[in-house]
């Protein structure tokens, strides 16, 4: 055990160390279950992860939570802050510009595949490490990167304190009027997109005048049996949508399906389908595209198995992701739902025309990084605050904004030091693990 002393604050952290065979085994064990269904997607995943330590970190949330099982806990966690809703895979690429169901163009979280209960500091730790890795990749000094992490933590704590004792979190959003810099640009880019743009990217009108998907290297036709299985599963998907949010059956009329390849990093190897549905009218210009993603156990559950009772989500991992999405987003997409196909779990939502992914390579200066990650801190605070007892007190019976604010109150400097020290040490561990992974990949070690 190594004790790191920074600014007079001592925190225990395990010294970063090379662990070649352990890393190889963890990656193999996590990815191997998908090798029989989409091996080419796993090959893509390995190539994507080889790009940089940050890319590797994106693809290995399972390693992070394996470590959360054994690494020292936080001094700033108690029983009521150790079982809250987490996004679970909190890093910069899971934020973006989007339009919510009320027509607001906002900066928010875009992915809840790993949504689960856990220690609130895990979302903060995971984001802090991602900041250090991305900042280093973008050429920032270690001191500047640490300042960015502290700013992220400051805005998180300040926003939690703002939410304490009121319901402001339920209506809080980051939009063009209260953002600037790269995040403001992102919101504007998402707002400027169009449905016709999305449809023309992925679909075409056939000789009969019907809209269908294009067939490309990333959009592949299905076997008739898979097509039929997904068609049959549509009825249970529609039934999973609350009646208050459900449209007429004709809205969900299925026009075409494709297997979508190459999307994401961590989820590569799992099935992802694009479904073209009729939408609000029989015209072809208002068709909707649904994204249907295979869901498996949350990686957070590696660290705290069974903390979220499977009865909450009916043992269906698609249901778990649907609940997590609704818990942490306001004005959620009314097309969010779930189904089961051939005993595999799926979550569905609209492939929104108005979404722009966050591009961390644009954060080329400390100022740009400080601004953007300040907004990220506010987003994570909003996620945690709206998903507490306000959402469902049978799952989280506390006011998380109150609990977090009270536990850190008077010790903000120590809290930030603890997270920064953890992140510095863990970012070094990620770099060791990345080097081990690249070496194994180059030597042809089976990794899936």
Taking alpha carbons only, the member of 272, 271, 300 closest to residue 87 is 300
For residue 367, what are its two tokens? 């100022």
Cα dihedral value 187, 143, 68, 418, nearest 10: -110
- Tell me the CA distances in angstroms from 342 to 44, 59, 190, 238, 345, one per residue in order: 25, 26, 35, 17, 8
Q: How far is it, in rounded angstroms, from Cα 121 to Cα 404?
A: 10
pLDDT at 15: 79
Element (H, E) at 273: strand 272-277
Q: In what order do the strands lie in the sheet with 174-175?
A: 174-175, 105-109, 95-99, 355-357
Give exposure, 135-153, as e/b (b: 16+ Cβ within 10 Å): bbbbebeeeebbbbbbbbb
For residue 45, what are its two tokens? 């995943």
Q: What is the mean pLDDT of each run of 10 residues along the chain (448 residues)?
A: 31 75 98 97 98 98 98 96 98 96 97 98 98 98 98 98 97 98 98 97 97 97 98 98 97 98 96 98 97 98 97 97 98 97 98 96 97 98 98 97 97 98 98 98 98
Beta carbons of 277 and 287 less than 8 angstroms apart: yes
| Residue 292: Cβ within 10 Å count | 25
Q: 328: exposed, middle or buried (C-beta count within 10 Å: 0-12, 13-18, 19+)? A: buried
pLDDT at 14: 64
């Amino acid at each position: 055990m190594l004790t790191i002393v920074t600014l007079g604050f001592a925190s225990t952290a395990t010294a970063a160390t090379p662990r070649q065979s352990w890393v190889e085994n963890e990656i193999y064990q996590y990815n191997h279950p998908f090798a029989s269904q989409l091996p080419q997607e796993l090959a893509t995943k390995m190539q994507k992860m080889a790009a940089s330590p940050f890319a590797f970190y994106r693809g290995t949330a399972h390693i992070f939570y394996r470590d959360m099982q054994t690494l020292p806990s936080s001094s700033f966690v108690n029983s009521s802050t150790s079982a809250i809703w987490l996004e679970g895979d909190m890093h910069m690429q899971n934020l973006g510009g989007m339009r919510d169901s009320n027509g607001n163009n906002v900066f928010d979280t875009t992915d809840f595949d790993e949504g689960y209960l856990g220690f609130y500091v895990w979302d903060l730790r995971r984001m802090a490490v991602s900041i250090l890795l991305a900042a280093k990749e973008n050429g920032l000094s270690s001191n500047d990167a640490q300042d960015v992490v502290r700013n992220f933590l400051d805005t998180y704590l300040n926003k939690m304190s703002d939410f304490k004792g009121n319901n402001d979190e339920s209506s809080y959003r980051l939009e063009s009027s209260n953002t600037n810099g790269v995040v403001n640009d992102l919101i504007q880019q998402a707002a400027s997109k169009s449905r016709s743009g999305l449809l023309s990217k992925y679909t075409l009108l056939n000789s009969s005048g019907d809209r269908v998907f294009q067939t490309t290297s990333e959009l592949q036709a299905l076997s008739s049996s898979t097509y039929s299985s997904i068609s049959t599963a549509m009825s249970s998907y529609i039934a999973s949508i609350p009646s208050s949010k459900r449209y007429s059956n004709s809205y969900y009329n299925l026009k075409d399906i494709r297997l979508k390849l190459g999307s994401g990093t961590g989820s590569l190897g799992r099935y992802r389908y694009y479904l073209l549905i009729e939408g609000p009218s029989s015209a072809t210009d208002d068709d909707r595209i649904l994204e249907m993603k295979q869901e498996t156990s949350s990686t957070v559950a590696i660290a705290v198995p069974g903390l979220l009772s499977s009865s909450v989500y009916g043992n269906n991992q698609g249901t778990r992701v649907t609940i997590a999405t609704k818990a942490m987003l306001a004005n959620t997409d009314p097309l969010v739902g779930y189904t089961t196909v051939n005993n595999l779990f799926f979550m569905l939502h609209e492939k929104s025309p108005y979404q722009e992914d966050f591009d961390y390579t644009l954060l080329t200066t400390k100022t740009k990084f400080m601004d953007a990650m300040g907004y990220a801190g506010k987003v994570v605070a909003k996620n945690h605050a709206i998903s507490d007892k306000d959402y469902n007190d049978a799952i989280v019976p506390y006011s998380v904004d109150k609990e977090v604010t009270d536990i850190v109150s008077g010790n903000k400097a120590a809290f930030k030091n603890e997270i920064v020290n953890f992140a510095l040490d863990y970012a070094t561990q990620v770099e060791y693990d990345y080097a081990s992974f690249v070496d194994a990949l180059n030597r042809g070690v089976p990794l899936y």
